[in-house]
Amino acid sequence: MRLEAMGVEFPVVHGHPNRLPFEGVLTLVDVASDKAPAGARGHRVVLTRTAAEAALPSLLGMAVDFKTSWDGHDARQKCGIITAAEIEGQKLQVSGYLFARDFPEMETQFRRSRDGLGMSYELADAHVADMRAQVWTLTKATFTGAAILLREKAAYRNTSCRLLPGWAGTRGGLRPVMAVGC
């Protein structure tokens, strides 16, 4: 098993009303997607380990977004930030913070969906080994962000996203948040 990891350390601010910690599996490396992602012209894709490792630094500081229908991406609906990324086995895992006070519907959706939320990456400068191939192999890319969406809508069904224990703000004040799985 190989592990590649990077992160940006943020200072701990106990009770911060706008930082809700999350973690998730953004994608799988060296595995074909279950369906074609947006922008792939109907092709399933494989993100190679080499491409993912080279692009790992581009994930740090990138935004997490969501669509109010939870079925895709909305790059203008920034609801959080990625502060760490690692590849463990075939899983490219990320963690960071959601802006809980700005987007209270995020926490509500996490609690409602339990096991049903996944993730999807956003890329730029992707290089495809053979554009004629049935499954496109991505040999180079730059991550520009990620989306949280219903797992069934993600190109990779084995992605996931969950809230981590921490503190979140609500309209009624601060209270502890327990881990909620997706």
**DSSP codes, 88-124:** ETTEEEEEEEE-TTT-HHHHHHHHHHTT-EEEEEEEE
User: What average pLDDT does this structure show over 129-151?
Assistant: 97
pLDDT for 15-71, tens place per residue? 888 999 999 999 999 999 999 998 899 999 999 999 999 999 999 999 999 999 999
Maximum distance among all alpha carbons in the chain?
56
Phi, psi of 91 (to 5 degrees): -95, 125
pLDDT at position 150 is 95
pLDDT at position 123 is 96
CA neighbours within 13 Å on the CB side: how many for 27? 29
**Do 25 and 92 meet the contact criterion of CB atoms below 8 Å apart?**
yes
pLDDT at position 179 is 40
Q: Which of residues 9 and 148 earns the better pLDDT score?
A: 148
pLDDT at position 9 is 80
Q: Compute and round to an integer the Cα radius of gyration of the chain.
A: 16
- Highest mean pLDDT among 4-18, 107-121, 126-140, 161-175 belongs to 126-140
Confidence of residue 169 (pLDDT cuts 50, 70, 90): very low
Q: Which of residues 86 and 7 earns the better pLDDT score?
A: 86
**Do 66 and 98 meet the contact criterion of CB atoms below 8 Å apart?**
no
Beta partners for residue 21, in sequence order: 97
Distances (CA, A) of 70 to 56, 65, 170, 172: 25, 10, 21, 26
